[in-house]
Amino acid sequence: MPANLTPDYLAAEERYRQAKTPAEKIQALKEMYATIPKHKGTMKLQGDIRKRIAKHNTELQQERKAGKRAATFHVEKEGAGQVVLAGLPNVGKSQLVSSLTHASPEVAEYPFTTRMPHPAMMPFENIQIQLVDLPPISADHMAFWVPNIIRNSDGVLLMVDLTADPLIQTETSLEIMKESKLALVREEPEVDPWSSVAYKKTMIVANKNDFDDSEDTFHILKDQYSASFPILPVSAKHGKNLEKLKRSVYDMLGILRVHSKPPGKEAELDKPFILKRGCTLLDFAQMVHKDFGEKLRFARIWGSEKFDGQRVNKDYVLNDEDVIELHM
Interior CA angle at 150 toward 5 and 11, to 5°? Answer: 15
Higher pLDDT, 310 or 156: 156
- What pLDDT sits at residue 266? 85
- What pLDDT sits at residue 18? 83
Give the count of beta carbons closer than 10 Å to the beta carbon of residue 221: 21
- What pLDDT sits at residue 317? 93
Strand order in the sheet with 268-276: 268-276, 255-260, 322-327, 298-302, 310-312
- Residue ranges of domains in the chain: 7-65, 82-253, 256-327
Q: Which amino acid is at 105?
A: P
pLDDT band (50, 70, 90) for residue 114: low
CATH class of 256-327: alpha beta
- What pLDDT sits at residue 115? 62
Q: Give residue-wise pLDDT tens across range 226-248.
A: 999 999 999 999 999 999 999 99
The separation between CA 196 and the C-alpha centre of its own chain, rounded to angstroms, equals 17
Candidates 3.40.250.10, 3.40.50.300, 3.60.20.10, 1.10.1740.10; CATH matching 82-253: 3.40.50.300
pLDDT band (50, 70, 90) for residue 32: confident
pLDDT band (50, 70, 90) for residue 107: low
- What pLDDT sits at residue 71? 44
Higher pLDDT, 294 or 82: 82
Least confident piece of the model among 108-117, 158-167, 182-191, 246-255: 108-117
- What pLDDT sits at residue 70? 42
pLDDT band (50, 70, 90) for residue 3: low
Identify any residues that bridge with 128 across adjacent strands, giving them in sequence order: 123
DSSP state of 67: T
Domain 82-253 and domain 256-327 have a common topology? no
Whether 34 has a pLDDT exceeding 60, the answer reads yes
Higher pLDDT, 69 or 27: 27
- What pLDDT sits at residue 122? 97
Buried b (16+ CB within 10 A) or exposed e, 197-217: ebbbbbbbbbbbbbeeebeeb
pTM score, whole prediction: 0.73
Least confident piece of the model among 67-81, 126-140, 184-198, 234-248: 67-81
